[in-house]
Chains A and B, each alone.
Chain A
Amino acid sequence: MKRIKQKFNKIALKLIVAVGVTTAIIISIYSVFNLKAQSDLLLSEFERHANQLSNSIIKITRTSMLAYDTETTHDIINTIGKEKCIKEVRLFNKEGRVIYSNDPNLIGMLVDKKAESCYVCHSSEKALEKVPVDKRARIFRLHPDSSRIMGLMNPIYNEPSCWEADCHVHPKTKKILGALDITMSLEEVDQAQRESTIKLIIFALTSIFVLSLIVGFFVKKWVDTPVSNLMAATREISAGNLNYTIKDLGNDELGILGRAFNTMTKKLAEARMQLFQSDKMFSLGRLAAGVAHEINNPLTGVLTYSSFLLKRTKDNPELQEDLKVIVRETKRSREIVKGLLDFARQSVPKKHKVKPREIIDRAVSVVNNQLILKHIKLEKIYEENLPLITVDADQMQQVILNLLVNASDAINGDNGKIVIKTSLTNLLPYGMTQIKTAVCPKRHNLIDNEVKIEAMPTIKVKIKTQKLSGYLNLDPIYGKNRHHYSIEVKPGEEIDVSCPRCNISLIEEKELCPKCNSRIFTFESPPHGMFEACTNINCDWQRWQAIDEGGEKTYVKIIIEDNGSGIKPEDLSRIFEPFFSTKGQKGTGLGLAVIWGIIDNHNGSINVESEVGKGTKFTILLPVT
């Protein structure tokens, strides 16, 4: 019962029922009017036909009447009366006596003038002399279940030929000599009407059915399927499966809703992940602090008593030795607890000048045992006399540690090898510096956080060719040209570049590209002055004067290379995104995103090169200040 009720609650069914009922009502109204009109037409046609027949009988019998040839008149009446649809043909005289009839038993009988057939003229005391043609007919049934019968009373008027005839039966003074009454069966008419009613009902039912079917099909296609997809998605999400996405839903409102739903789910998943992560860290911190607090009390008892005993037993060297061990080991426990508390505390990043190799060695010492167990060879190639770098030592240690763990995870089987290499390098800002701010002349922000290249927000400008208009997402690294074009631009094709918000043109009119003579566009990157780039899709010319003027910068380069499984090319561009993980359930997907954040915080850069089956190479550049 509940299931049926549920079925009836579905939008699709409601729509189908609504369409069906509307169709039924419209077709019913149409049918009623149509049948009525048809029936009226048929009856009037039939009546005209009966009238004609009646007039014909009168005209045919006229000659024999004038000749007073009763036999012939009888014959004619009988012959006509044998027609299939004709039931009775009666000729009355003025008094209502039947003179001729196809039924011989009726001849000579007197009909009651108040009878239904006579009523048209004899309704009042004085009979009507003229009866309009349309009033002459009457329809009745002999029995309630017999077919309908139409009667037609046709008055016979006196004419000069009648009273001048030799028989002198009719005097000149009479106006009406008698009447001819024919009754005909309407069975055929009724039959035709019934048939057309049935046809109409069949038509109505078929069209309701077909219409519902068509409406049902489209409703299912356009409404029901997307809505049930959305419902299924909602159920999945509410059950906690935030990875669920709705497949392509087309471009209508429901499609847009579906896409919005997908975006929402994605955001939700990210938020949950973040929450989960911070919650995990928080609980871990609280747990550590709680454990530390609980353990410290018994430890205090042990430490105070043992150190007290140590003082009191100065004259007992044998006991002293043992007590010293207890004190030493308890102090060690104290250090462990302190370490736990240090971990739990969210430390404010503190930058110091440190030696690069110190950080690397500290990170290596953490994973060294793991590497030995996995038979991974670790090769360290350090350049001597590297300058100090200003970093948060703990954070940077975390970066190196994470990369080492990743490298170790990527290595399966024997002959695993990780190489750590440090060197000093001087680099031009070209190809290195990230454009972090960008505004149009009207100070609209051009930074686009939606489209990212290697996890860095891009610079979004509007472009227009002769035919098309769209967007260009500029690679945020000065000198790198991994731009995204939303429309197809041919090499050398002239394009207009403008601000997506206010449409102000960014084209520099006074200057052309020194490399290919195309037009150039420009925007400000505060506080580092103007950034210029060529509009030609094939030209890589860019200029950032304020940055170039800074000249070469010195960086410490740290390379961590493994010969593990490598990263697939399609994953390579996404590995620095939060929550992107190739480790499945094992990883949180935060590792490389956090690493990227730390490196970025230190104004450094991190790069990855990888080949499936050959290994992965991470290159970190940290500025020497």
Chain B
Amino acid sequence: MYDILIIDDETVINEAVTKIAESEGYKIDSCTNAIEGLEKLRKDTYKITLCDIMMPEMNGFQLLNEVKSEGINTCVIMITGFSTVENAVKSLNKGAIDFIPKPFTFDELISSISRGLEFYEIEKRIKESQLGNDDGEIIYVACPPKYLKLGNTSWMHLEYEGVAVVGVTDLFLRTIKTLSSIDLLSVDDLIYQGSTCATLHTGDDLVHNILAPIGGKIIERNEKLVENFSLLEKDPYFEGWLYKIIPADFEYDMKYLTHCSTERV
């Protein structure tokens, strides 16, 4: 049983990731193509799989599809040099739990890995509870119906015609440690779907970027949250909202969002 599998056709990246992961005490395996990676995933258990998108023979999206269709138990995190927002959003929509744009720093990688491992644990507990070992504990609070979410990271809700509220999902917050501070953008700033709209700092010195669910212009931000960021953890879907925005092109962004009503706990 491994913690991490890294699949990238660039050995320098494999080596760097391996070094960093091992320095943090994770058990990691690596390979340079997706076919070999898939073999490894079938044989062994890997909690998370870090996978490049652009690879010869089989690309990251194909691997993700295989993992999903074969029901392999691993959390896929995409890495790619093609760091267009479109790619990020697309991979989240296809079932990846996270996305790291190349080039990334030590902190960015470690934060993503730690979230991934937490997510793996949560998924395991969900499965256990479905098998009847329900001890009544709430694993995480699903986002309300009528809300739309981007992957498992952020949500949006059309408050009234032309204004959308944006926030972070409880599932995302459960994968990180206790917040130590929070960085928000200011009013009048523009945000784009799939790019960072807020940064959460946690007690373990990690930094977590929140990807915006839709693009638009910030018209109001939750000042209460700046004063008291614990509000986010207490009530992420109502009191803990981040911004109110005027969507730039809601119809266009809609394609990559999923309805929260499909989420089951």
Contacts and interface: CB of A to CB of B under 8 A. Distances in A.
Interface in A265-304: 289, 292-304
Interface residues of B, number: 29
Given A293-B54, A293-B81, A348-B252, A301 B12 contact: yes
B140 interface: no
A583 B82 CA distance: 37
B106 A353 contact: no
Contact of B20 (A295, A302, A308): A308
Interface stretch (A64-72, A327-335, A539-547): A327-335
Nearest to A327: B105
A34 to B, nearest CB: 92
A304 B20 contact: yes
Nearest to B205: A311
A331 B105 contact: yes
A317 to B, nearest CB: 18
A302 B190 CA distance: 31
Interface in B245-262: 246, 248-249, 252
A352 B13 contact: no
A331 B104 CA distance: 9
Contact of A330 (B19, B83, B103, B249): B103
Contacts of B19: 305, 308
Interface of B: 10, 12-13, 16-17, 19-20, 23, 54, 81-84, 86, 102-107, 109, 190, 215-217, 246, 248-249, 252
A345 B81 CA distance: 15
Contacts of B215: 350
6 contacts: A301-B103, A304-B13, A330-B103, A331-B105, A348-B249, A350-B215
A622 interface: no
B16 A305 contact: yes
Nearest to A338: B83
A297 B14 CA distance: 11
A195 B216 CA distance: 106
Interface string A449-460: 000000000000
A399 interface: no
A304 B190 CA distance: 29
Contact of B103 (A299, A308, A311, A393): A299
Contact of B13 (A300, A307, A334): A300
A296 B106 CA distance: 15
A353 B217 contact: yes
A298 B12 contact: yes
Interface residues of A, number: 33
Contacts of B246: 352-353
Contact of A300 (B16, B23, B190, B249): B16
Given A300-B103, A311-B106, A352-B190, A345 B84 contact: yes
A292 B81 CA distance: 7
Contacts of A302: 103
Interface of A is mostly: helix
Interface in A322-349: 327, 330-331, 334, 338, 341, 345, 348
A393 B189 CA distance: 12
A350 B249 contact: yes
Interface in A16-66: none
A53 to B, nearest CB: 121
B30 to A, nearest CB: 14
A351 B248 contact: yes
A293 B82 contact: yes
B109 A304 contact: yes
Contacts of A295: 81
A350 B248 contact: yes
Contacts of A351: 248
A297 B16 contact: no
A297 to B, nearest CB: 5
Given A297-B10, A304-B13, A304-B16, A289 B106 contact: no
A292 B82 contact: yes
Nearest to A310: B106
Contacts of A348: 249, 252
A515 interface: no
A351 B248 CA distance: 6
A304 B19 CA distance: 10
Contacts of B217: 352-353
A300 B12 CA distance: 8
Contacts of B102: 296-297, 299-300
A305 B81 CA distance: 17
Interface of A: 289, 292-305, 307-308, 310-312, 327, 330-331, 334, 338, 341, 345, 348, 350-353, 393
B23 A312 contact: yes
Contacts of B54: 293
Nearest to B192: A350
A308 B106 contact: yes
A39 B246 CA distance: 111
Contacts of A294: 81
Contacts of A338: 83
Given A289-B82, A352-B190, A352-B248, A307 B107 contact: yes
Nearest to B216: A352
A304 B104 contact: yes
B10 to A, nearest CB: 5
A345 B84 CA distance: 8
Residue with the greatest number of chain B CB neighbours at <10 A, chosen from A294, A304, A352? A304
Given A293-B54, A351-B248, A300 B104 contact: yes
Contacts of B13: 297, 300-301, 304
Nearest to A305: B16
Contacts of A307: 105-107
Contacts of B107: 307
Contacts of B86: 345
A275 B23 CA distance: 54
B216 to A, nearest CB: 8
B249 A296 contact: no
Given A296-B81, A393-B190, 17 more contacts: A293-B81, A295-B81, A296-B83, A297-B13, A298-B12, A301-B12, A303-B104, A304-B104, A304-B106, A305-B19, A307-B107, A308-B16, A308-B20, A308-B106, A345-B86, A348-B252, A351-B248
A141 to B, nearest CB: 106
Contacts of A353: 217, 246
Nearest to A293: B81
A311 B20 CA distance: 10
A303 B13 CA distance: 10
A305 B16 CA distance: 6
A393 B216 CA distance: 12
A327 B81 CA distance: 18
A553 B13 CA distance: 59
A312 B19 CA distance: 12
6 nearest CB pairs, A to B: A296-B81, A307-B106, A304-B16, A300-B103, A299-B103, A350-B248
Contacts of A311: 23, 106
B27 to A, nearest CB: 18
A310 B105 CA distance: 10
B213 to A, nearest CB: 16
A305 B15 CA distance: 10
Nearest to A311: B106
B103 A334 contact: yes
Contacts of B10: 297, 300-301
